Amino acid sequence: MMTYLEIHFNEISPETSDVLVALLPDLGFSGMEETATGLKAYATEGQVDLSALDALCAELSIKYTNAVLKEENWNSSWESNFDPVILPGKIHVRAHFHPPLEGFEHEILITPKMSFGTGHHATTRMMMLGMLEMDFTGKEVLDFGTGTGILAILAERLGASSIEAIDNDHWSISNVNENIQLNAARNIKVSLAENLVDVSPCDILLANINKHVLLEHASSMSKLLRPDGFLLISGLLAADQEDIEAVFTPMFGKPTNLYSDNGWIALAFKKEF
């Protein structure tokens, strides 16, 4: 049975919490939970760069406590704190133990496990809102850094003909496959991948990751996205916008839309060349 490391940053500001959410995935964390006074972060035991974590905490002048959880303890803790996510009139994201609700265009079931992307974080909400403004009918979609698979599932609900969902985290791949079954999704191919080398060209590319990964793979994403295709990216703080646009605009054209939520942003592009 797998064990997981739980890191608890208590008594930190919302701004510091946002910085941690943006940076912790690079240190090996694949799940995060905002609390009333701070943030909890989770990773498979042994997969975290603790020296880098200590250096980051020293830079931010914060402290943390840690605990080791067995898988069943993790699931119980996560489920007890998992609330439905509602985009009024549009999307209802819930776990299997929540009752369905009427009055929504789309309902998505997400098993509340360690993969990042349940809809609770501002970046995931903005990605979903941006997707609602795009035409997915008959399109081939790439979901880069799929997490729980929530965006891939929504893409199918919006009419995509095929979706390739990739992630570099074994836990995410397992969770995505479970969520695909829960939602009876049929057009999603899931792959474990560190890069975009063996990925097929697409009409729409979704990437809710972080600034570092987006910049690292910008050229590969440009090669995969077909002319007149759409790119929607997030995992970005407002302060990241200038750096992102400096790299992405020469490859994709100027952003066609900017979404903002509590200090986080998402950017949409239509590839002009």
- List the chain pLDDT tens, one digit each, 273 residues: 678 888 999 889 888 988 898 888 888 887 777 777 788 888 888 888 899 999 999 999 999 999 887 765 555 665 666 678 888 889 999 888 888 999 999 999 988 665 566 667 788 999 999 999 999 999 999 999 998 899 999 999 999 999 999 998 887 888 899 999 999 999 999 999 989 999 999 999 999 988 889 999 999 999 999 999 999 999 998 989 999 999 999 999 999 999 999 889 999 999 987
For tokens 């790299």, the residue is 247
Six token digits for residue 86 = 């509602």
Helix or strand holding residue 197 (H, E): none
CB-neighbour burial class of residue 253 (10 A; exposed 0-12, middle 13-18, buried 19+):
middle
pTM of the model: 0.80
Check if the beta carbon of residue 108 is closer than 8 Å to that of residue 93: yes
CA–CA dist 239, 227 (Å, integer):
29
CA atoms within 13 A on the CB side of 220: 15
Domain 3-80 has CATH 1.10.287: no
Which regions of the chain carry the CATH code 3.30.70?
Answer: 3-80
Beta carbons within 8 Å of 106's beta carbon, 6+ residues apart: 90, 91, 92, 154, 157, 158
Which pLDDT does position 105 carry in this prediction?
94
Beta carbons within 8 Å of 95's beta carbon, 6+ residues apart: 79, 82, 84, 109, 110, 111, 112
The CATH class given to the 118-270 domain equals alpha beta
Which pLDDT does position 95 carry in this prediction?
84
Which regions of the chain carry the CATH code 3.40.50.150?
Answer: 118-270
CA–CA dist 11, 38 (Å, integer):
6
Check if the beta carbon of residue 26 is closer than 8 Å to that of residue 55: no
What's the DSSP call for residue 2?
Answer: -
